[in-house]
Structure 1
Amino acid sequence: MIRFEDVSVTYEGAAEATVRGVDFEVPEGELVLLVGPSGVGKSTVLGAVSGLVPHFTGGTLRGRVTVAGRDTRTHKPRELADVVGTVGQDPLSHFVTDTVEDELAYGMESLGLAPEVMRRRVEETLDLLGLADLRDRPIATLSGGQQQRVAIGSVLTPHPRVLVLDEPTSALDPAAAEEVLAVLQRLVHDLGTTVLMAEHRLERVIQYADQVALLPAPGAPLQLGSPADMMAVSPVYPPVVALGRLATWSPLPLTVRDARRRAGSLRDQLAPSAASRAARAAPDPKRGGTPQARPSDPAPTRRWLPFLRNHKPTPTTPPATAQPTAEIQALSVRRAHIQALRQVDLTITPGEILALMGRNGAGKSTLLNTLVGLAEPTTGSVSVGGLTPHRTPPPTLIRHVGLVPQEPRDLLYADTVAAECTAADHDADATPGTCRTLLSTLLPEITDVTEDTHPRDLSEGQRLTLALAVVLTARPPLLLLDEPTRGLDYAAKARLVTLLRNLAAEGHAIVLATHDVELAAELAHRVVLLADGEVIADGPTAEVVVSSPSFAPQVTKILAPQRWLTVAQVREALG
Structure 2
Amino acid sequence: MIELDGVSFWYRGRPDPVFADVSLSIGEGELVLFAGRTGAGKSTLLGTVNGLVPHFTGGHLEGAVSVAGQRTDEHPPREFAHLVGVVGQDPLAGFVTDTVEEELAYGMEQLGLAPQVMRRRVEETLDLLGIAELRRRPLRTLSGGQQQRVAIGSVLTTHPKVLVLDEPTSALDPTAAEDVLATLARLVHDLGTTVLMAEHRMERVVPFVDRVVHVPGDGGVVDGAPAAVLRTMPIAPPIVQLGKLAGWDPLPLSVRDARRLAGPLRADLPAPAQPEAHAGAEVLTASGVVVTYGQTVAVRAVDLRLRAGEVLAMMGRNGSGKSSLLWAVQGSGPRRSGRVRVAGVDPKELPAAEARAVVGLVPQTASDLLYLETVGAECAAADAESAADPGRCRALLDRIAPGIAAGKHPRDLSEGQRLALVLAIQLTAAPRVMLLDEPTRGLDYTAKAALSGVLRDLARDGHAIVVATHDVEFVATTADRAIVMAEGEIVTDGPAREVLGSSPAFATQVAKILGEPWTTVAEVAAAVDASAGRVR
Shorter-chain TM-score category? over 0.9
SS at match of 1:348: strand
SS of alignment partner, residue 492 of structure 1: helix
Gaps of 5+ in 2: 530-536
User: How does the TM-score come out when normalised to structure 1?
Assistant: 0.89
Query: Which residue in the other structure is 2:533 paired with?
Result: none
In structure 2, the partner of 1:262 is: 261
Check 1:551–1:108 CA distance in 2 against 1; reply closer, same or farther (3 A cut). same
Cα deviations by residue, 1:414-456 (Å, 9 ceiling, x for unpaired): 112243234435544x26xx36323224525978555432112
Contact 1:440 1:447 in 2 (8 A): no
**What is the rounded CA distance, in whole Å, between the counterparts of 1:445 and 1:403 in structure 2?**
17
In the other structure, the counterpart of 1:352 is: 310
Give the superposition deviation at 1:135: 0.5
The residue type equivalent to 2:310 in the other structure is E
Deviation sequence 1:151-203 (CA, Å, 0-9, x none): 00011111111101111000000010011011101111111111111111110
Q: 2:534 — aligned with what?
A: none
SS at match of 1:159: coil
The separation in 1 between residues aligned to 2:430 and 2:199, in whole angstroms, is 33
Counterpart in the other structure of 2:503 = 548
Aligned partner of 1:233 in structure 2 is 232
2:346 aligns to what?
388
Q: Does 1:533 align with 2:488?
A: yes
The match for 2:408 is 453
Contact 2:38 2:417 in 1 (8 A): no
Superposed displacement of residue 461, structure 1? 4.7
Shift of 1:335: 1.1
1:566 aligns with 2:520: yes
| C-alpha distance after superposition, 1:98-140 (max 9, x if no partner) | 1100100110001111111111111111111111100110000
Change (3 A) 1:89 1:25: same
Worse overlay, 376-385 or 464-473: 464-473
Q: 1:302 aligns to what?
A: none
Alignment of 1:123-272 (within 5 A): 123-220=123-220, 222-270=221-269
Does the Cα contact within 8 Å between 2:311 and 2:481 map onto a contact in 1? Answer: yes
User: Matched residues in 2 for 1:111 and 1:444: separation?
Assistant: 46
Flag the 1:210–1:21 CA change in 2: closer, same or farther, 3 A. Answer: same
Residue 400 of structure 1 corresponds to: 358
- Label 1:465 to 1:213 Cα distance change in 2 as closer, same or farther (>3 A): closer
Structure 2: which amino acid aligns with 1:494? A
The alpha-carbon distance between structure 1 residues 454 and 543, as it changes in their structure 2 partners (threshold 3 A), is same
- Partners of 1:152 and 1:409 lie apart in 2 by 22
1:483-494 → structure 2 map (5 Å cutoff): 483-494=438-449
The secondary structure found in structure 2 opposite 1:443 is helix
* Counterpart residue identity of residue 69, structure 1: G
1:42-81 to structure 2, matched below 5 A, reads: 42-81=42-81
Backbone CA RMSD of aligned residues: 1.7
Contact residue 39 and residue 218 of structure 1 kept, 8 A: no
Residue pairs, 1:20-35, within 5 angstroms: 20-35=20-35
Letter in 2 for 1:93: A
345-354 or 228-237: bigger deviation: 228-237
* Helix, strand or coil at the partner of 1:346: strand
**SS at the partner of 1:46?**
helix
- The question of whether the paired residues in 2 share the 8 Å contact of 1:435 and 1:473 is answered with no
Q: What secondary structure is seen at the aligned counterpart in 1 of 2:95?
A: coil
- Measured after TM superposition, the shift of residue 57 of structure 1 is 0.6
- Asked whether the equivalents of residues 49 and 66 of structure 1 are also in contact (C-alpha less than 8 Å), the reply is yes
- The answer (yes or no) to whether the contact 1:461–1:492 under 8 Å persists in 2 is no
Distance in 2, Cα, partners of 1:445 & 1:349? 25
1:113 matches 2:67: no
In 1: Cα distance, 2:170 partner to 2:178 partner: 12
Q: Which residue of 2 aligns with 1:301?
A: none
Q: Which stretch of the first structure deviates more once superposed, 120-129 or 36-45?
A: 36-45
Cα distance 1:246–1:38, how it changes in 2: closer, same or farther (>3 A)?
A: same
Whole-angstrom distance in 1 between the partners of 2:258 and 2:383: 50
Deviations, residues 451-473 of structure 1 (Å, cap 9, x unaligned): 43211233445433432332234
Corresponding residue number in structure 1 for 2:285:
327
Cα distance 1:75–1:512, how it changes in 2: closer, same or farther (>3 A)?
A: same
1:317 paired residue number:
278
1:267-299 Cα shifts (integer Å, max 9, x gaps): 1210xx22x74xx69xxxxxxxxxxxxxxxxxx
- Structure 1 residues 32, 60: closer, same or farther in 2, change over 3 A? same
Does the CA contact (< 8 Å) of 1:443 and 1:465 recur in 2? no
| 1:498 maps to 2:434 | no
Contact 1:556 1:565 in 2 (8 A): yes
CA deviation profile, 1:77-108 (whole Å, cap 9, x unmatched): 10000110000111111100111001001100
Secondary structure of 2:8 counterpart: strand
1:539–1:136 CA distance, 2 compared to 1 (3 A) = same
Aligned partners of 2:400 and 2:448 also within 8 Å = no
1:333 deviates by: 1.1
In the comparison of the two structures, how many residue pairs are matched?
A: 529
Taking structure 1 as reference, are residues 465 and 445 closer, same or farther at Cα in structure 2, changes over 3 Å only?
A: closer
Kindly provide the amino acid, as one letter, of the partner of residue 102 in structure 2. Answer: D
Which whole-Å CA distance do the structure 2 matches of 1:212 and 1:472 have between them? 34
Residue 517 of structure 2 aligns with an amino acid whose one-letter code is R
Cα distance change of structure 1 residues 442 and 155 upon mapping to structure 2, 3 Å threshold: closer
SS in 2 for 1:49: coil
CA distance in 1 between counterparts of 2:414 and 2:79 reads: 30
Distance 2:32 2:42 in 1: 13
SS in structure 1 of the partner of residue 357 of structure 2: coil
Question: Deviation at 1:61?
Answer: 1.1
**Partner deviation per Cα, 1:398-422 (whole Å, 9 max, x = no partner):** 1100011113211111112243234
Name the aligned partner's letter for residue 209 of structure 1.
Answer: V
Corresponding position of 2:532: none
Return the alpha-carbon distance in structure 1 between the equivalents of residues 90 and 100 of structure 2. Answer: 16
- Could you say if the C-alpha distance between residues 447 and 240 of structure 1 is closer, same or farther in structure 2, counting changes exceeding 3 Å? closer
SS of aligned partner of 1:494: helix
**Deviation at 1:229?**
1.4
Contact 1:8 1:21 survives alignment (8 Å) = yes
Could you tell me how far apart the structure 1 residues matched to 2:425 and 2:393 are? Answer: 9
Q: Per-residue deviation at 1:336?
A: 3.0
| Superposition deviation, residue 263 in structure 1 | 0.3
Asked whether the 8 Å contact 2:39–2:417 carries over to 1, the reply is no
